[in-house]
Amino acid sequence: MPFDRCNYEGRAMRDSSVPYGDSTYWTAEKRPDVFYGPVNKYGYRQYPYGAWNVAVDARRAGYRVDHVARVGDIAAWRSNATMGRSTDGMTWYRAARGGHVAYVEAVHGSVITLSEMGHAPNDGGYTYDLEFSGATHFIHKPHR
């Protein structure tokens, strides 16, 4: 995988490179419109830095950001937000201190199928179902 020049999360944490495996790396590959537009323009310049600022940058650039999931959205969570729970109800997921983002592959009511990275170095991306919480924000594709 190529280095993703539009991923700023590592820079915000004083790292000059952003490794393959970061959650924003994955969503940049899936939705380059958000990263090569708003994120490059505004570039995580606001506190508290991290993955959550993808939603802040997108909203600032005029993208619709709300709590209604659609296929092709970027799902975003603030720092330490409760993301939701597994479909068996046994596991609750929480975003990291820098927030978290993932790509929405499918929507079935309050259950979304996400593809993402960022839980382990070089995890290569994976897909899972999540019953999402009200703390989930969705960055929609622009209408044309």
126 vs 129: which has the higher pLDDT: 129
CA nearest 109: which of 59, 70, 144?
70
14-35 confidence digits (pLDDT tens): 454 445 667 777 888 889 888 8
73-85 confidence digits (pLDDT tens): 999 999 899 999 9
Q: Are strands 82-85 and 126-132 parallel, antiparallel or unpaired?
A: antiparallel
Do residues 118 and 100 lie in contact, with contact meaning Cβ atoms separated by under 8 Å?
Answer: yes
Q: What are the residues facing 104 on neighbouring strands?
A: 114
pLDDT class of 114 with cuts at 50, 70, 90: very high
pLDDT class of 115 with cuts at 50, 70, 90: very high
131 vs 98: which has the higher pLDDT: 131
pTM metric for this prediction:
0.82
Terminal Cα distance for the chain, rounded: 30
Torsion 76-29-122-85 (CA) sign = positive
